[in-house]
Amino acid sequence: MNVLIVYAHPNPHSFNAAMREVAVGTLSRAGHSILLSDLYAMRFNPVLSAEELQGDLSAIQPEIEKVRRADLLLFQFPNWWYGMPAILKGWMDRVFACGFAYDEAHSFENGLLKGKKALLSLTVGARADYYQQAPERDLLRVLEPIHYGCLAYCGMEVLPPFIVYGPTEMSEAERKAALEAYRQYLLALPQLRPLRFSHMG
């Protein structure tokens, strides 16, 4: 399987960076081929241009080719303001372009990226109980615009996300346990069942 890891964190020593390394190592050892887009290291420009909006995708072609080759797209990022970092949102704006990822006749079950899978792997700032205390904090609900409005819309199967709660509040032992849990989650990818959405496709 070809796996594209799209990584968005500015600190190379962050817990997200550690999760990225676990993903690269675990999936490589399992026999998968890894492609990596480290958006901050690449100094990726997140701003959609007028030319791209009109269908000229030449500037973003290298990233499009990575997506074209990938069987699984794994997005690694911190949850900021209940969403993606701007650089990752811009990557999606530019790369999941009309005519490549979808068009007026192709979305959801017949989206142009049909046959691919997608997985969000992310960290959040607080412990799990904070998100369990109110329905508006439910992270599957928070992530629905990405899961449903972007990934599923383009035809991909969306796997259940892997979320690490409050890594900055963890002990070293807890961080190691979280990374091991992530490793086991990645090894179980073939057994994960995609999320299901109700929509008018």
Q: pLDDT tens, 29-55?
A: 999 999 999 999 999 999 999 999 999
Mean pLDDT estimate for the chain: 93
Helices marked H in 1-148: 15-29, 39-42, 50-53, 61-69, 86-95, 128-132, 139-142, 144-146
Q: pLDDT tens, 88-144?
A: 999 999 999 999 999 999 999 999 999 999 999 999 976 766 667 766 777 778 899
Q: What is the mean pLDDT of residues 144-151?
A: 95
Q: What is the mean pLDDT of residues 2-31?
A: 97
Better pLDDT: 86 or 167: 86
pTM, two decimals, is 0.94
- Residue 151's pLDDT is 97
Domains and CATH numbers, the chain: 2-189 (3.40.50.360)
- Residue 201's pLDDT is 46
Better pLDDT: 169 or 45: 45
- Residue 197's pLDDT is 86
- Residue 114's pLDDT is 97
Convert 122-133 to b/e letters by CB count within 10 Å (16 or more is b). Answer: bbbeeeeeebee
- Residue 125's pLDDT is 74
